[in-house]
A and B are shown apart, each in its own frame.
Chain A
Amino acid sequence: MYDFHYHRPKTLADAANLLKGKDEARPMSGGMTLIPTLKQRLARPSDVVDLGGIKELAGIKVEGNNVVIGGMTRHADVASSADVKGAIPALAYLAGHIGDPQVRNRGTIGGSIANNDPAADYPGAVVALNATVTTNTGRHTADNFFKGLFETALSDGELVTSVSFPKAEKAAYMKFPNPASRYAMVGVFVAKTAGGVRVAVTGAGPCVFRVKAMEDALAKNFSSDAVKDIKIPADGLNSDIHASAEYRAHLVNVMARRAVDAANK
């Protein structure tokens, strides 16, 4: 690890100020991604601004038809939240299947979506539920937030403050974990909300994506039969020692069917 200046501000405004104008400054939430990166000397920030001391960033609220989760909320808290379990059990399930207990007790939703690891679980939920990402400077729709491999709509110094998920009529997440890392090798989140049906796939490609053909079929008939024959092209999907693009494409179909079945239960 290289040396850096460490800050632990108490307010969002202080955090934003500490980051402002410093190209090499980095916010830190749970540190579950950032710290290993630092330890391997893959990043050399001038400053690390720890968001852990900012009370307003953590916590879960139900606001009307939405569940609003603060950026600093740990995966374990989402997994065990009665509000989340009541409104969107699939989201609690997803959070409960991220990493291991240590990771779930440190890692946060803000850190996870800001990082936008192609194999992360949360992006699937954010896109399938058509959530809104709130930052200290504005809002992003789910479809606009995730831009590409480790790329988001956040600008320098912009901080995720909360994510607002509309309640779902039906929703389920099916994760096929990478055997080694247990990140999502393929994760399919299927949701039926007031806004319609969405199918979001994480892990399979460089960035979370939607499967329009499945969404259309499910809008007509929300059953696994409806997606059974919808094949995903392997082109552009990730390929590595754990899964070829073809295998990933195949798993998208299997996980989608299973997610629909689970959502219907």
Chain B
Amino acid sequence: MNAPTGIGARVKRKEDQRFLTGTGRYVDDLPLARATYAHFLRSPHAHAKIKSIDISAAKAMPGVVAIFTGKDIADAKVGGLICGWVVKDKHGQPHKSPPHPVMAVDTVRYVGDTVAMIVANSHDEAKDAAETIKVDYDEKPANVDLAKALDKGATEVHAEAPGNLIYDWEIGVQADVDAAFAKAAHVTKLDLVNNRLIPNAMEPRAAAAEYDKGTGNYTLWSTSQNPHVLRLILSAFVLGIPEHKLRVIAPDVGGGFGSKIFCYNEETMVTWAASRVGRPIKWTAERSESFQTDAHGRDHVTHAELALDKDGKFLALKVETIANMGAYLSTFSTAVPTYLYATLLAGQYTTPLIYANVKAALTHTAPVDAYRGAGRPEATFVIESIVSKAAKELKVDPAELRRKNFIPSTAFPYQTPVALQYDSGNYPPIIDEAIKIADYKGFEARRAEAKSRGKLRGIGFSSYIEACGLGPSRVIGQLGGGVGQWESAQIKFNPTGNVQVLTGAHSHGQSHETTFAQVVSDKLGVPIENIEVVHGDTATTPFGMGSYGSRSLAVGGSAIMKAADKIIAKGKKIAAHLMEASVADVVFEQGTFKVAGTDKAVPLGQAVFAAYVPHNYPLEELEPGMDENAFYDPSNFVYPAGTQICEVEIDPDTGVVEIVNHTAVDDFGNIVNPMIVEGQVHGGIVQGVGQALLENAVYDKETGQLISGSYMDYTMPRADDVPSFKLGNKVTPCPHNPLGVKGCGEAGAIAAPAAVMNAVHDALAPLGVSHVPMPATPLNVWQAIHGARAAAE
């Protein structure tokens, strides 16, 4: 018998054949006849006025085809880049929307800002020419330190946003929360910085564009997570190329983590210039450009307070956050610290009153936008840090305090005080399972044993909730989102019975080609090798919203299920005709139509063949062909939840933190491919560990230079930084989508930072250390230990 390939099977990834044998096809691999190569001259300053740009020498350099500056773009009336989510501030006013030109015109606002585009016969010639461009800058003071960005007198990044404030937003009723605090038996206070991260997808961003003079058609190959949305933005807002004259192809894409959702300057410029140059243009970011110009993630400064009653029940939570937007508003930047952050602040708890105030600030740094988890890791970090801190202060078990405040399983659907309605969940069995797997009971013995070796051992919990599977379009519209958030699918049978599944989602590491094929195989009984999943090309796939926010299976998979239902419904009619039975009597089981109680049977393949060769076919009532599409708009978000338990050992002499155990138990609803889900969890945890212990985007606070601008200074997690993870899972199926699935792509990164940092704090508590900044690098840990020792002396 063949190995199972349906829902629940550990099917090996179909895409690995090409990825593991070096035969994937990425944007940079594209052979384009007569191609030219673009290089972008970038600002070396965080803030400066451009007094003049002299390109005369550069134009005469060998191989140069064209040079464009911000003025050329402005003269051509190219639109600026847009922010697609209008957040209304606490007075109901839309957020400040400073212009985001595709190339700087008279001011540069961060190191890496685009100043000129040089197109040449080779990349080296373009770079040679760039070195001869003379830009006369008038350097200005830079506003880099987020904590001071909103202070009076801080240098303004844009005149359109006075005081650097993009919005001052709130959720909840402050007076109610204050009243609850007044009655609290205990208040825990916390100041946190959520460190800024640089996404570091393995494949740098790349774009290649071609213009066909004969038809007036543009083709853009881009490392995009959502080619249809990119086309929409470029067409409707930026370049004005009619949507049907622009084809966007996102071929194999080597990771994105959110950073490839957005519409960037370079792909815009490459597309625009392709028609002016009359030859294809290719651009691939160098790694240092990725560091400087990919949208960064996180970067919050937060003060939080939690009020508890005498029994340890949470009464209210108060959170104030300043969120960094960088120098320009990236595509979805405004939504991240509001609707993807503050609405998650209930966590897994019954906290009845929550007030959050978020101020979004501009700084002279790269734009900040969604990065794996987008807002939810920040929220989880706040909640799970303050809950663990409260447990320490009250000297109660951190697991007990959590359990006491969990939303009970009987309370679902559960309306939180911060807008979201959780659809399903059952949290206590998750933490119980995690405690069992992590052998929490044995921890104190392990701590003592570590102490005998001179090591400080600590344990930390993080019980996260997330809202993903973006999302219900109506809700998103009410909250200011500029797009719908449904997904599309098309199931296209060929006459010979094999299938193409076209999806509007996009895979850049998520394994859709396998998971989606499993869904179709399971539903229609077609062998998995006869199913091809097609994505990433606006010319062939139905309009779709792409992949981010752990939405592909919950929303895209649901669209596939709907399309499959249509295939079955049509097949039933064909089969009924062939079997001379009534449609109502036909059932579909394991790929075959049957008439209940008889031995009559028509395999799906036969019905498909009849649909394409309709000689014996009810043509009067039914169209030929077997090709169905569907759009699915979810009625709610999905709410994966879980608990991670991290155990660390710290060397007090050096400050080195070692993760010795890490457990994650998740509820992702039904699971299609456990192996792929585990892979997503592993990757997510590693990214979360990266944030907790290693990664930090550091700008010089005076000059705005990116100090951590290469792998010499930006610490990526490596395989030897993490132990083998211990995973478990619990299932409460999602009640509102046909697969009963939730999302698993971001969970690991959402939960891990708090678990790790709580473990670090637990380990250091005996030394009197109360706070270690994230990331808990050896330096930060050593300084915290050193500080506590000095204070004790």
Name A's B-contacting residues (CB within 8 A): 1-2, 40-41, 176, 178-181, 240-244, 247, 250-251, 254
Contacts and interface: CB of A to CB of B under 8 A. Distances in A.
Contact of B694 (A1, A179, A243, A254): A179
A247 B783 contact: yes
Interface string B674-704: 0000000000000000000010101000000
Majority-rule SS of B interface residues: loop
A242 B779 contact: yes
B127 interface: yes
8 contacts: A179-B777, A179-B778, A180-B708, A241-B707, A241-B713, A242-B779, A243-B778, A244-B783
Given A1-B124, A241-B708, A254-B654, A180 B779 contact: no
Interface residues of B, number: 25
Nearest to B718: A182
Majority-rule SS of A interface residues: loop
**For B655, B694, B716, which residue has the most chain A Cβ atoms within 10 angstroms?**
B655
Given A176-B654, A180-B713, A247 B124 contact: no
Contacts of B124: 1
A251 B777 contact: no
Contacts of B783: 244, 247
Contacts of B779: 242-244, 247
B714 A180 contact: yes
Contacts, number: 46
Interface in B198-248: none
A36 to B, nearest CB: 10
B653 interface: yes
B265 interface: no
Contacts of B288: 40
Contacts of B655: 247
B289 to A, nearest CB: 12
B712 interface: yes
**For B124, B128, B715, which residue has the most chain A Cβ atoms within 10 angstroms?**
B715
Contacts of A243: 778-779
A179 B786 CA distance: 20
The 5 A-B residue pairs whose C-beta atoms are closest, nearest first, are: A180-B715, A181-B712, A179-B715, A254-B653, A180-B713
B272 interface: no
A1 B708 CA distance: 23
A41 B127 contact: yes
B19 interface: no
B443 interface: no
Nearest to B696: A241
B782 A247 contact: yes
Contact of A180 (B128, B654, B711): B711
A250 B778 contact: no
A253 to B, nearest CB: 9
A241 B712 contact: no
A40 B131 CA distance: 13
A242 B782 contact: no
**For A178, A242, A251, which residue has the most chain B Cβ atoms within 10 angstroms?**
A242
B788 to A, nearest CB: 15
Contacts of B696: 241
Nearest to B656: A176
A241 B127 contact: no
Interface string B126-143: 011001000000000000
B782 A250 contact: yes
A180 B715 CA distance: 4
A250 B785 CA distance: 13
B653 A181 contact: no
A243 B783 CA distance: 10
A254 B651 CA distance: 11
